[in-house]
Amino acid sequence: MSKVAQLLQNKGNQNIWKVRPDDEVITALKLMAEKNIGAVLVFDGDKLAGIFSERDYARRVILQGKSPEHTPVKEIMSPKVLCVKPTQAIEECMALMRHHKLRHLPVTEGDKIVGIISVSDVMKALMAEHKFIIEQLEHYIQGY
């Protein structure tokens, strides 16, 4: 059973992209576009204050007729952030994402954010693990 730590290691570069609560939404969107990511963490100083995602933008800016140039991130971010630990199983992360309808999970070690995983990352990891198991079973069966 794969763990989040293995996923982060396989994923490689773990820059933590963040914005401040008072930053305008357009600032967060430009960062997300530049880094090709679907969410950024919102930090108030050293403290995690929320997460801002493409979904937040679509539902709380576009559909409500707000301006990304004049709306601070704190007005539309998701303030409750569910985090996981590096020791947690990938299957557990998928269950959390499915149950809470999340696409991104920050990974914490103590009080420090060490990475962020997406539903795409989790799916790829699960598919690779299942492929490996299938290959092992095929080799076992062919051995007889």
What does the pLDDT look like over 14-59, one tens digit per residue? Answer: 789 999 999 999 999 999 999 999 999 999 999 999 999 999 999 9
Name the residue among 63, 98, 66, 60 with its Cα closest to residue 78.
Answer: 60
Distance CA 100, CA 30 (A): 27
- Using an 8 Å Cβ cutoff, are 104 and 115 in contact? no
Percent of the chain with pLDDT over 70: 98
- Containing domain of residue 65, as a range? 4-142
Find the CATH number of the domain harbouring 79. Answer: 3.10.580.10
Summarize pLDDT for 87-127 with one digit per residue, the tens: 999 999 999 999 999 999 999 999 899 999 999 999 998 88
Paired strand residues for 48: 43
Number of domains composing the chain:
1
End-to-end CA gap in the chain: 26
Q: Which two tokens stand for residue 68?
A: 């990304």
Cα separation, 38 vs 53, whole angstroms: 6
**Chain centroid offset of residue 44 CA:** 19
Q: Mean of the pLDDT values across residues 3-13?
A: 88
What pLDDT does residue 28 have?
A: 98
Please tell me the predicted confidence (pLDDT) of residue 80.
Answer: 94
